[in-house]
Amino acid sequence: MDNDIILCIDDERVVLNGLQSQLGRDFGSSYVIEIAESGEEALALIKEILDGGRDIPVVISDQMMPGIKGHELLRRIHEISPATYTILLTGHSDIEAVTEAVNHANLYRYMAKPWEGNDLVLTVREAIKGFYQGLQLEKQNKLLDRHNKELEILVAERTQQLQAEKRKSDELLLNVLPEEVAAELKEKGEATPRQYEMVSLLFTDIQGFTGLASEVSPTELIQTLNEFYSAFDDIIERHDLEKIKTIGDSYMCAGGLPTENRTNAIDAVAAACEIQEWVAKWNEGPIDKGLGRWDVRIGIHTGRLIAGVIGKKKFAYDVWGDAVNVAARIESGGETGKVNISKATYELVKGKYSCKYRGKVEAKGKGEVDMYFVEGVMPPGI
């Protein structure tokens, strides 16, 4: 890991120098920050790095460059190093290019130029984390592939058992993909990415999780985390939300996709309030058992984004766009036991929910952002 590479590509030397300097300050102790001034130079450098046995967790590329454009370059890089996370920098609103990169280049994020320094660093840090989690998942997938091949050998003799296994596989697919997306994937072999104008993103985070993890056994930790996430799964299903993913103690879901609707902001707030009620009730019991309190922050933001399926063997339904970053900042700017929402979400739920305006709250990478705490359902007749 100490010799792994973060690669930056741009045809403007001053931009490269800025990226190298900024990333060097935050990641230089663990990673080598390499630069390339063209797509051709980048491809040659990547071959040299991979031949040398080193990994490239993250590639950051400009979109508008002479010769190979950014989205095409990232596609070719993905073919060479599929596990690498890619970030596209663009000075133009080029949804077509972003969609191409999402579909063919394992695009993790796209960011408008000029970018905000803290936001870039946070994005790169999250991408690095995802890269190494992906390597671990790949090892698990190889074990799963071996298991599947062993099952295929027994097809002739154990047809009934194979059918049962197939049903389990379909159920597992539905656990990671929305039903209509899974159906399209099975029918066509691919799922078309889509842009949504109004999606409500809900993020949760367990306060002080690192400290909690050091106080209980691994078995207790996983059992408790599973209990929380299972409860969250049930709650969001009742409110027509789609689970996107979990990363450690962070849980992410969304309303308004893959089937669009106009109630997703209200649905998300209702689910968030129910989650906080469940957590409060849970905390009434386990404290006496030595597990301590497990308090949760929740943040919700409503906005535009792109959603689609990435991967060929390890499918993942994911979302991209600035709305995702804003939702994450709304969550981190909240307080435990409360539901923190953005102004965009507030405007859609203010007729149903009573909310307290917090003023403009500083959010990492986003400056001051209007935030509101949800206080409860509006009394009838108001």
212 within some domain: yes
Q: 3-state secondary structure string, the chain?
A: CCCCEEEEECCCHHHHHHHHHHHHHHHCCCCEEEEECCHHHHHHHHHHHHHCCCCCCEEEEECCCCCCCHHHHHHHHHHHCCCCEEEEEECCCCHHHHHHHHHHCCEEEEEECCCCHHHHHHHHHHHHHHHHHHHHHHHHHHHHHHHHHHHHHCCCCCHHHHHHHHHHHHHHHHHHCCHHHHHHHHHHCCCCCEEEEEEEEEEEEECCHHHHHHHCCHHHHHHHHHHHHHHHHHHHHHCCEEEEEEECCEEEEEECCCCCCCCHHHHHHHHHHHHHHHHHHHHCCHHHHCCCCCCEEEEEEEEEEEEEEECCCCCEEEEECHHHHHHHHHHHCCCCCCEEEEHHHHHHHCCCEEEEEEEEEEECCCEEEEEEEEEEECCCCC
Report the C-alpha gap between 265 and 261 in whole angstroms: 10
Domain harbouring 15, CATH code: 3.40.50.2300
**Residues 114 and 256 placed together within one structural domain of the fold:** no
Asked which of 129, 161, 180 is the last residue of a domain, the reply is 129
The pLDDT assigned to 166 comes to 56
Q: 3-state secondary structure string, 130-172?
A: HHHHHHHHHHHHHHHHHHHHHHHHCCCCCHHHHHHHHHHHHHH
**Residues 198 and 325 placed together within one structural domain of the fold:** yes
Task: State the average pLDDT over residues 95-124.
Answer: 82
Asked which of 170, 188, 206 is the last residue of a domain, the reply is 188
**Residues 217 and 339 placed together within one structural domain of the fold:** yes
Task: State the average pLDDT over residues 227-243.
Answer: 95
**Residues 323 and 200 placed together within one structural domain of the fold:** yes
The pLDDT assigned to 269 comes to 97
pLDDT band at 350 (very low <50, low <70, confident <90, very high): very high
User: What long-range pairs does 245-253 form, CB within 8 A, spacing at least 24?
Assistant: 245/316, 245/318, 247/129, 247/130, 247/133, 248/209, 249/205, 249/206, 249/209, 249/225, 250/203, 250/204, 250/205, 251/203, 251/204, 251/205, 252/201, 252/202, 252/203, 252/204, 253/201, 253/202
The pLDDT assigned to 290 comes to 61
Lowest mean pLDDT among 29-38, 173-182, 191-200: 173-182
Q: Are strands 85-90 and 58-62 parallel, antiparallel or unpaired?
A: parallel
Does pTM surpass 0.85?
Answer: no
pLDDT band at 167 (very low <50, low <70, confident <90, very high): low
Lowest mean pLDDT among 49-58, 202-211, 235-244, 363-372: 202-211
**Residues 120 and 231 placed together within one structural domain of the fold:** no
63 within some domain: yes
Asked which of 81, 100, 129 is the last residue of a domain, the reply is 129
Task: State the average pLDDT over residues 283-289.
Answer: 67
Report the C-alpha gap between 175 and 143 in whole angstroms: 20
28 within some domain: yes
More confident residue, 93 or 327: 327
- The segment with the largest mean pLDDT, out of 125-139, 143-157, 224-238, 282-296, is 224-238
More confident residue, 105 or 44: 44
**Residues 198 and 111 placed together within one structural domain of the fold:** no
pLDDT band at 203 (very low <50, low <70, confident <90, very high): very high
Q: Name the domain count of the chain.
A: 3
pLDDT band at 327 (very low <50, low <70, confident <90, very high): very high
pLDDT tens digits along 306-319: 988 766 666 677 89
Task: State the average pLDDT over residues 16-29.
Answer: 91
**Residues 111 and 170 placed together within one structural domain of the fold:** no
**Residues 321 and 291 placed together within one structural domain of the fold:** yes
Q: Which amino acid is at 228?
A: F
Q: Which amino acid is at 362?
A: E
**Residues 168 and 224 placed together within one structural domain of the fold:** no
100 within some domain: yes
Task: State the average pLDDT over residues 14-39.
Answer: 92
Q: 23 is in which domain, residue-wise?
A: 5-129
The pLDDT assigned to 109 comes to 86
The pLDDT assigned to 326 comes to 94
104 within some domain: yes
Query: What percentage of the chain has pLDDT greater than the value 70?
Result: 85
**Residues 206 and 355 placed together within one structural domain of the fold:** yes
pLDDT band at 340 (very low <50, low <70, confident <90, very high): very high
User: Does the pLDDT value for residue 155 go beyond 60?
Assistant: no
The pLDDT assigned to 338 comes to 96
The pLDDT assigned to 146 comes to 81
**Residues 52 and 148 placed together within one structural domain of the fold:** no
98 within some domain: yes
Domain harbouring 284, CATH code: 3.30.70.1230
Q: Are strands 367-377 and 339-342 parallel, antiparallel or unpaired?
A: antiparallel
Distances from the Cα of 144 to the Cα of 151, 160, 172, 226, 247, angstroms:
11, 20, 13, 22, 21
What is the average pLDDT score of the chain?
85
382 within some domain: no
pLDDT band at 191 (very low <50, low <70, confident <90, very high): low
pLDDT band at 177 (very low <50, low <70, confident <90, very high): low
The pLDDT assigned to 306 comes to 92
Residue carrying the six token digits 């063919």: 104
Nearest to 337 by CA among 380, 273, 256: 273
pLDDT band at 35 (very low <50, low <70, confident <90, very high): very high
The CB density around residue 143, as the number of other CB atoms within 10 Å, is: 9
**Residues 94 and 155 placed together within one structural domain of the fold:** no
